Structure 1
Amino acid sequence: MWSIVISSILLGAFLATRASPTPRTSESHTVQLVNNCGKGTATFRLEGSGPYTGDTNIIQGPALGGIAWVSDAYGCEDYGQNCGVVEFSLQNPTSQNDQASNAAAYDVQESEVQMHEYKYEMDFALDGCQVSPYVPGPCSGNTPSDCPGAFPADEPVATPFECTADNVGIVITFC
């Protein structure tokens, strides 16, 4: 009888420790904006928040649905309409079903939903990843050879550059 009681207590203790959430390391991502254009303001928004305009922004938790552009210049509207943008999402692979979500891409194309076009040079680097292919090079024009990944063959959507590290940041430079 005592062995049944002790087994029940041990089983209960085991289940209680298994049911409690496992602590995760804190997730944060740094978004750095550099505006070398001499006019306008480097700006970004995330899904459901923003705009952010500081040089260095630390986002606690995932930074999803990011879009960065130069506001108040070049005829750019909110969310970078009528201008080129850098789109990005930063999320630790361990925070959501072990899927990597650190990705960024240039968008300078007009689509059925968005109107983007090249008006200034853009560059980005995913910080915290291995070098290539996470640093595609600058977008310096409105052609496939001038803007890496922005004009994938037969696709209206840009090709993202991705990596699978935790707490990845992004540095976005305009002009």
Structure 2
Amino acid sequence: MFSFTTLAATAAIFAASVAAESHNIQFVNNCGRGTPVLSQNFQTINNGNSYTSNGPLSATIAYLDTGCGFQGVGCAIVEMTLINGGISSTDISLIPDHAFNVPTAFHYTNGCSAGASCTNANCPVSEAFHKTDDYAAQRQCTANDNGLVITFC
């Protein structure tokens, strides 16, 4: 016979496992140079390897460091917010002080297939922000536990 305490503990464990949130970022560097960087709130959280966030991943950028300045200045960046129960949004940005340095692309994994690719400094507005109101560059996903594959070159 189960006690109330055992049932409550089992329910809490089940609820926690159902509510767990996870987002995986994978890097593919085909350039033969540079180091992929993942940065959140002005702090580098990963250099070059896959990264898994156990919770929302907001206000985060990724770039291939080929001699970029602080926070990818002088390089193309991928901006992302990945969240369960809402709208995840990702884009490529060339808004100055960012600029094209290598072909950059991304696509969602685990529930969405949207993505974008910028292969040169003049890639279309539908693929990358060149100025702050180029909203067509954003790709959104509402699937829980979505992730990204970010490819350079």
Listed as ranges, the gaps of 5+ residues in structure 2 are 1-11
Give the C-alpha shift of residue 103 in structure 1: 1.2
Of 3, 26, 43, the residue aligned with 2:37 is 43
Q: For residues 40 and 173 of structure 1, what CA distance do their matches in structure 2 show?
A: 12
Q: Does 1:34 align with 2:28?
A: yes
SS of the equivalent of 1:141 reads: coil
SS of the equivalent of 1:166 reads: coil
SS of the equivalent of 1:103 reads: strand
What are the superposed Cα offsets for residues 64-109 of structure 1, whole Å, 9 maximum, x if unpaired?
A: 11111112x2x3112110111111111101xxxxx32x11101012
Q: TM-score, normalised by structure 1?
A: 0.70
Q: Does 1:145 align with 2:124?
A: yes
Listed as ranges, the gaps of 5+ residues in structure 1 are 1-19, 94-98
Question: In 2 relative to 1, CA 149–82 (structure 1 residues): closer, same or farther, beyond 3 Å?
Answer: closer
Give the C-alpha shift of residue 157 in structure 1: 6.3
Q: Does 1:106 align with 2:85?
A: no
Partners of 2:107 and 2:150 within 8 A in 1: yes
Corresponding residue for 2:99?
117
Q: TM-score, normalised by structure 2?
A: 0.79
Identity percentage of aligned residues: 27
Corresponding residue for 2:75?
83
Q: Does 1:59 align with 2:53?
A: yes
Q: For residues 170 and 69 of structure 1, what CA distance do their matches in structure 2 show?
A: 13
Alignment RMSD (CA, Å): 2.4
Corresponding residue for 1:11?
none
SS of the equivalent of 2:71 reads: helix
Higher fraction of strand: 2
What are the superposed Cα offsets for residues 5-60 of structure 1, whole Å, 9 maximum, x if unpaired?
A: xxxxxxxxxxxxxxx9x655200110111111111101111236433114211111
Question: In 2 relative to 1, CA 140–147 (structure 1 residues): closer, same or farther, beyond 3 Å?
Answer: farther
Larger Rg: 1
Question: In 2 relative to 1, CA 140–109 (structure 1 residues): closer, same or farther, beyond 3 Å?
Answer: same
Corresponding residue for 1:169?
147
Amino acid at match of 1:106: I
Give the C-alpha shift of residue 145 in structure 1: 2.7
Q: For residues 35 and 126 of structure 2, what CA distance do their matches in structure 1 show?
A: 22
